[in-house]
Amino acid sequence: MTEPKIRAIVWGCGHMGQIIIKYLKDKGVELVGAIDRNVSRVGKDAGEISALKRSLGTFIHHPDEAKQVFHKANANVCIISTRSLMIDIYDSLETSARHGVNAITLAEEAFYPWNTSPDLTQKLDKLAKEHNCTLTGSGFQDVFLGNLISILAAGTHRIDRIQAIIQYNIDGYGSSVAAQYGVGLSVEAFKQQISGYTEPFPSWYMNEWLCAHLGLAIRTQKQEFWPITNIKTIHSTSLKTDISVGSVTGMKAVVTTETEKGVIIENQVLGKIYTPDEIDTYECTLVGEPTTTLTIHRPATAQMTCASLVNRLQHLIDAPPGFVTTDKMQPPNYWM
């Protein structure tokens, strides 16, 4: 590394933050601060609770002490992996910006927040410019639902439709996610409680990013939620109960974007309780001339998510000040 050493604050020391702390250490990034609102983590050594499983001498503070952490740390990046929406991570981004510290977050909305939270994003953009730092969102979607599709497109003569399908086992994500996906509901109850859900699904922002990156103006964008049921009783480990035949075991969330140039972008996420023969898959098809389907079986999504973010740190530092979404940055690259 010829660049000055990166000094990072990790805000959010849950599953993702714990992997990120290890990756930072592996890359020679110094952990100079750690913040988490979970009281069971506050006061602990961030290295010890991380995937690294050894002391780094950096202790976890509650968000109420965030200003003191920033004041002491002399950080040049802050990595936020807490919540999904701009409104929920606004305070952490604002705190970072006010201290002139570049921030990057896994929050799905931050990947492309310009349309869904324009006011918050413009406020943060202004603040970041005033304090000469950059704010952005990254993660799995930056590489696998953004730049990878863009490169695949470069090997295609004519694109009519871009279709991404991701399937994952929601039993690995705790009971609140299972409930959010309607697991255990009847199909009727799913239709009443889930189908009309209006808050943008995470892939909403990914389609918007892709359109911005490919230079496609959006004509319409919609989301639909379809219940998935099973023909055999299956057990949910997260809900600790059997899901009976005909009940909902998960859902298919489809975000469809029509563009002015006629290209359709469709993102399908299938989150469900698996039967024994099912595996996680990532699949992307460009329909056109020629039609190409690219598949990744059993993607290690959590590791890919954290690696994608950590590999972006140098770009974050080098980017101009403001809220700069990654569609406006150079493509991500492997950082050795």
Which CB atom, from 157 or from 240, has the smaller least distance to its own copies?
Answer: 157
From CA 10, how far away is CA 65, in angstroms rounded?
14
Shortest spacing between CB 111 and its own copies, in angstroms:
14
Stated length of the chain: 336
Closer to its own copies at the Cβ: 124 or 145?
Answer: 145
CB 251 to its own copies: min, Å? 26
> Which amino acid is residue 255, in one-letter code?
V
Sign of CA dihedral 11, 15, 19, 21: positive
Q: Which is nearer to its own copies, 121 or 326 (CB)?
A: 326
Closest to its own copies by CB, 61 or 213: 213
What is the CB-side half-sphere exposure of residue 103 using CA atoms within 13 A? 34
CB of 256 vs its own copies, minimal distance in Å: 20
Give the span between the Cα atoms of 325 and 112, in whole angstroms.
6
**Least spacing, CB of residue 157 vs its own copies, in Å:** 4
Kindly tell me which of 232 and 298 has the beta carbon lying closer to its own copies.
298
Please, what is the angle between helix 86-98 and helix 66-73, to 10°?
A: 40
Query: E strands within 206-280?
Result: 218-229, 234-236, 241-243, 248-259, 264-272
Residue whose CB is less far from its own copies, 143 or 185: 143
Residue with token string 């490919």: 214
Output the smallest distance, CB 43 to its own copies, in A: 28
Instruction: Answer left, alpha or beta for residue 22, where phi above 0 means left and psi between -120 and 50 means alpha.
Output: alpha
Pseudo-torsion of CA 271, 277, 279, 282, nearest 10°?
A: -80
Structure tokens at 177: 């996610």
User: At its nearest, how many Å lie between its own copies and the CB of residue 309?
Assistant: 10
For residue 200, say if its preceding peptide bond is cis, omega within 30 degrees of 0. no
Q: Give the shortest CB-31-to-its own copies separation in angstroms.
A: 16
Alpha-carbon distances, residue 49 vs 20, 40, 45, 52 (angstroms): 12, 11, 7, 8
Is residue 215 within 8 Å of residue 153, measured between CB atoms? no
CB of 271 to its own copies, least distance (A): 20
Q: Which residues lie near its own copies (CB under 8 A)?
A: 23, 26, 140, 143-144, 147-148, 150-159, 214-215, 261, 289-297, 299-300, 303-304, 306-308, 310-311, 331-334, 336
At its nearest, how many Å lie between its own copies and the CB of residue 282?
A: 9
Residue 299 or 322: the one with the smaller Cβ distance to its own copies is: 299
Q: Which residues contact 173 (CB under 8 A, 6 or more apart)?
A: 238
Nearer to its own copies, 136 or 223 (CB): 136
Nearer to its own copies, 58 or 326 (CB): 326
Q: Hey, what are 153's tokens?
A: 């497109």
Q: Tokens for 95?
A: 């705190």
